[in-house]
Structure 1
Amino acid sequence: MRLTADEHTYLRRLARPAPAAPSRPVPANVLRLLDRLGDVPAMVIDAGYDMVAWNRMLVALIGDPAGWAPRRRNRLRRLLDPADTVTGNRLELARRCVADLRAGGRYPADPAVRSLVDDLLAESPEFARLWAEREVVVQRTLTKRTVHPVAGPLELDCEILAVPGHDHRLLVYTAAPGTASEEGLKRLVTA
Structure 2
Amino acid sequence: MDRHELAGFLRSRRERITPADVGLPAGPRRRTPGLRREEVAQLAFISTEYYTRLEQARGPRPSREVLAALARALRLADGERDHLHHLAGVPPGPPAGPSREVRQSILDLLLRLPQAAAIVLSATYEVIAWNDLAAALLEDFSALSRHERNLVRRAFLTPRSQARLLYSLSDEEAFARAVARQLRAAAARYPDDPEVAALVGDLLSGSAEFARLWAAHDVGAEPTLRKTVNHPLIGPITVNCDVLDITDRDQRVVIYTAEPGSPSEEALRLLSVIGTQRMDVPG
Partner of 2:50: none
Partner of 2:248: 165
Gap runs ≥5 in structure 1: 1-15
Distance 1:131 1:171 in 2: 24
Are the aligned partners of 1:21 and 1:167 in contact in 2 as well (CA < 8 Å)?
no
Distance 2:114 2:222 in 1: 24
Partner of residue 88 from structure 1, selected from 170, 194, 197: 170
- Residue 42 of structure 1, CA deviation: 0.7
Gap runs ≥5 in structure 2: 1-91, 275-283
- Residue 63 of structure 1, CA deviation: 2.7
Distance 2:207 2:93 in 1: 26
Partner of residue 100 from structure 1, selected from 156, 178, 182: 182
Distance 1:17 1:102 in 2: 19
Residues 150-161 of structure 1 mapped to structure 2, 5 A cutoff: 150-161=233-244
The 1:124–1:143 alpha-carbon spacing in structure 2 relative to 1, beyond 3 Å, is farther
- Residue 62 of structure 1, CA deviation: 2.1
The residue type paired with residue 36 of structure 1 is: R
The residue type paired with residue 164 of structure 1 is: T
Percent of aligned pairs with the same residue? 40
- Residue 139 of structure 1, CA deviation: 5.4
- SS of 1:103's equivalent? helix
The TM-score, its normalising length taken from structure 1, stands at 0.80
Identify which of structures 1 and 2 has the higher relative contact order when contacts are C-alpha pairs closer than 8 Å and 6+ apart: 1
Are the aligned partners of 1:140 and 1:161 in contact in 2 as well (CA < 8 Å)?
no
Residues 3-152 of structure 1 mapped to structure 2, 5 A cutoff: 18-21=94-97, 23=99, 25-80=101-156, 81=158, 82=160, 83=162, 84=165, 86-104=168-186, 105-106=188-189, 108-138=191-221, 140-152=223-235
The 1:78–1:143 alpha-carbon spacing in structure 2 relative to 1, beyond 3 Å, is farther
Distance 1:153 1:120 in 2: 30
The TM-score, its normalising length taken from structure 2, stands at 0.56
- Residue 152 of structure 1, CA deviation: 1.4
The count of aligned residue pairs is: 176
Moved more, 136-145 or 170-179: 136-145
Distance 2:258 2:190 in 1: 33
Pair member with larger Rg: 2
Partner of 1:4: none
Distance 2:173 2:154 in 1: 11
